[in-house]
Structure 1
Amino acid sequence: MLLNNARMRSKVIASAAGTLLALSALAGCSAAPAPVSQAEPTKIDAAQAGGFLKELGLEGLDAKAAIDRLDRLPVEQRPAGFTASVQPSQLVIADTAGRTTSLPMPEDQFYLSAAPYVNQTHSCHFHSLTTCLGELSGENVQVKALNADTGEVLVDRTIQSFDNGFLGLWVPRGINVELTFSYEGKTASSTVSTAGSEDATCLTELRLV
């Protein structure tokens, strides 16, 4: 009997630990295509989408404007009641009740959110505008972006990172982009695709050395 009770306690502890791990994962960046939500998702239809976005303070905004507003928010002002996941073809918005809607991304532009780092980073695939945090907050970073196939310069300037530690770049869709970030004598480089429906929008494996 004592052995059975011990086994039962072990199972309860393991189950609780698993639940806590799952909840902690929801607080981080979106590492998969599915939107983050604490409840079973319910798709909001087109007729209700306007009211839903108004509730969230995003009334009248297209995907580009919503991304710009949310990525620029001071961290302390970021909303806790919903997530906004930047995916190649859409911005997926989900509240904690499980309601979801999406805004189409520009047909000719792709959003890359990059977080160069010196000491610490996190795994990420689709940038979460309300939860992702990078190491370099409010820092000036020299950014150079080239069309890797043609050599065309897309970006070549110093950009101040947002309060969340990310740099937001709108680049052409359907190409390979060669990126170089420079900060305090250190650099990080990467080449990424903007052509695929599952290509990353969140770049965090950018160690400055």
Structure 2
Amino acid sequence: MPTPHTPRILRGLQLSAISVLTLGAAALTGCASAVPITSVAGPSTSDDFLIEHGLGGLDVRELVDELDRTPLAERSEEFASSITAEALILSDQHEHTAELPLPDDLVYVSIAPYATQTHDCYNHSPTGCIGELQNAEITVRVTDAATGDTLVDEAVQTYDNGFVGFWLPRDLEGTLTITHDGMSASEAISTAGGKAKTCITTMHLT
């Protein structure tokens, strides 16, 4: 069982009626986000952006973990996020952005297994994506196809957004297996190349 995690982002935030509507829309669209991601850098630096939004002092791994684990009721509507195989990208309504490279040897992959419904996703958005199985007990196994080594074999709880994330070796070709409540799913997984998927929503538990 993972240790309790209370993100420091917007602790104690009280949702307004607008926030509730936004979260409802996100649930319907899967990975919708209140603030669109822009690829055009604004006038602020990445450090300025992080400090402005209360994220200063965190490295990219801490930021990704923090954002993905943030309870839905505490999600920020001030910025949007996207994780590619290369970087964490943040963007706000002022078109300010922050782009933080992922480690050279690791890729973050967030997984949302499902029983009845899912959504299309390629690059994970910790501030937008919502999966079906929220706060659910699952077992995750990742094996390396080349060596046969088991890289992950853990019983974990999905986050409040229905996802659970892992930092996996870059250039991995392997197999991902999820089990939950007597059901299971298995599929190939790859972290090879700069366009590798970071959002897996195709694990249909049967």
TM class, shorter-length: 0.7 to 0.9
194, 197, 200: which is aligned to 1:197?
Answer: 194
37, 41, 44: which is aligned to 1:43?
Answer: 41
Residues 37 and 79 (structure 1 numbering): CA distance in 2 closer, same or farther, change over 3 Å?
closer
Q: Which runs of 5+ in 2 are unaligned?
A: 1-24
- Asked if the contact 2:38/2:97 (under 8 Å) is kept, the reply is no
Residues 40 and 131 (structure 1 numbering): CA distance in 2 closer, same or farther, change over 3 Å?
closer
Count of aligned pairs between the two proteins: 180
Aligned to 2:148: 151
Residues 139 and 39 (structure 1 numbering): CA distance in 2 closer, same or farther, change over 3 Å?
closer
Q: CA deviation at 1:41?
A: 5.1
SS at match of 2:160: coil
What aligned pairs does 1:168-183 form with structure 2 within 5 A after superposition? 168-183=165-180
Aligned to 1:29: 31
Q: CA deviation at 1:157?
A: 1.6
Structure 1 vs Structure 2: percent identity of aligned residues? 39
Q: CA deviation at 1:148?
A: 1.4
Tell me how far apart the structure 1 counterparts of residues 84 and 191 of structure 2 sit (CA, whole Å): 11
Residues 104 and 119 (structure 1 numbering): CA distance in 2 closer, same or farther, change over 3 Å?
same
Q: CA deviation at 1:28?
A: 4.8
Aligned to 2:181: 184
Residues 172 and 39 (structure 1 numbering): CA distance in 2 closer, same or farther, change over 3 Å?
closer
Aligned to 1:21: none
Tell me how far apart the structure 1 counterparts of residues 173 and 40 of structure 2 sit (CA, whole Å): 35
Which has the larger helix fraction? 1
What aligned pairs does 1:32-181 form with structure 2 within 5 A after superposition? 37-38=35-36, 42-44=40-42, 48-181=45-178
Question: What is the CA RMSD across the aligned residues, in angstroms?
Answer: 2.2
| Structure 1 counterpart of 2:67, one-letter code | L
Q: CA deviation at 1:63?
A: 1.3
Per-residue CA distance 1:147-188 (angstroms, 9 max, x = gap)? 111111101120111010001111111111210000011101
Q: CA deviation at 1:100?
A: 1.6
- Give the TM-score taking structure 2 as reference length: 0.81
**Structure with bigger gyration radius:** 1
